[in-house]
Amino acid sequence: MNIILLGPPGAGKGTQARILVEGRNMVQLSTGDMLREARTSGTEMGKMVAEVMDKGHLVTDEIVIGLIREQLTSGKAGGGYIFDGFPRTLAQADALGSLLAELGEPLDAVIEMQVDDAALVSRITARSTCGNCGEVYNDNTKPIPADHVCTSCGQRAEFKRRADDNEESLKTRLLAYYKQTSPLIGYYYAKGALKSVDGLASMDKVSASIAKALG
């Protein structure tokens, strides 16, 4: 089963992708994670994308499609792929369609995670992740443990905040979502692949709705 998690920054795509990875042996393909890795690698591509990401703009289609192509052609995912944060433009959606067709792979569902903008701002400005396993924390709802031992991996860890998780960059990221990514809701609806879930519910409720949508 191959699925797309679609929603604005802070909708909970990464958190739900992690739950699907654990529960269904799926492989998470997050272009955001790939780009963050590229920027720390010191490559030319990494330097190029760092500034774009920090400002909250989208990296070029060519770069992200290249990253996804590399992943899809380099191995097979047992339980299928979860596309997290990709596609983000119509050109990326078309490219993904062609890539999957080339590989003879289906696209089984596109899960739209619906949330309101005020909730996104408070979620994002309060979020941090475990530097060891990537578990997501929130200053208000799930604070970092006082002893800095991650509740998910059990390791004493450094907890990181993303450079682009600030109000200024978030405004640009939200605008990019509404201008460039939200047309994908109609695109996948027309293809009969769209399923929408309430992303504002608790983490467990959201994952139950996703499980129901996937059947």
C-alpha span between 29 and 172 (Å, rounded): 23
Supply the minimum distance, in Å, between the C-beta of residue 86 and ligand AMP.
4
The residue among 153 and 175 lying less far from ligand AMP, judged by its C-beta, is 175
Percent of residues in the chain assigned helix, strand, coil, to nearest 5: 50, 15, 35
C-alpha span between 46 and 94 (Å, rounded): 25
C-alpha span between 131 and 99 (Å, rounded): 32
C-alpha span between 47 and 159 (Å, rounded): 24
Residue of 39, 88, 123, 195 marked catalytic: 88
Q: Which region among 29-37, 101-109, 186-194, 197-205 touches ligand AMP (by CB under 6 A)?
A: 29-37
Supply the minimum distance, in Å, between the C-beta of residue 38 and ligand AMP.
10
Nearest to 199 by CA among 7, 14, 1, 52: 7
- 177: which 2 tokens? 């979502």
Q: Residue 196 half-sphere exposure, CB side, CA atoms within 13 Å?
A: 10
Q: Which region among 51-59, 108-116, 125-133, 194-202 touches ligand AMP (by CB under 6 A)?
A: 51-59
Residue of 18, 39, 123, 127 marked catalytic: 127
When asked if residue 12 is in the footprint of ligand AMP (CB under 6 A), the reply is no
When asked if residue 59 is in the footprint of ligand AMP (CB under 6 A), the reply is yes
CA torsion, points 88, 90, 92, 98, in degrees to nearest 10? 140
Site size toward ligand AMP, by CB under 6 A? 17
When asked if residue 52 is in the footprint of ligand AMP (CB under 6 A), the reply is yes
Residue carrying structure tokens 């460039």: 180
Report the SS3 class of residue 19.
helix
Looking only at Cα atoms, what is the longest distance across the chain?
49
Supply the minimum distance, in Å, between the C-beta of residue 180 and ligand AMP.
8
The binder of ligand AMP chosen from 4, 6, 35, 170 (CB under 6 A): 35
When asked if residue 206 is in the footprint of ligand AMP (CB under 6 A), the reply is no
- Binding residues among 69-98 for ligand AMP as defined by CB under 6 A: 85-86, 88, 92
Q: Which region among 56-64, 104-112, 182-190, 198-206 touches ligand AMP (by CB under 6 A)?
A: 56-64
Cis peptide before 87 (omega within 30 of 0): yes
Which residues contact ligand AMP by CB under 6 A? Answer: 9, 31-32, 35, 52-53, 56-59, 64, 85-86, 88, 92, 164, 173
Q: Which residues are catalytic?
A: 13, 88, 127, 162, 173
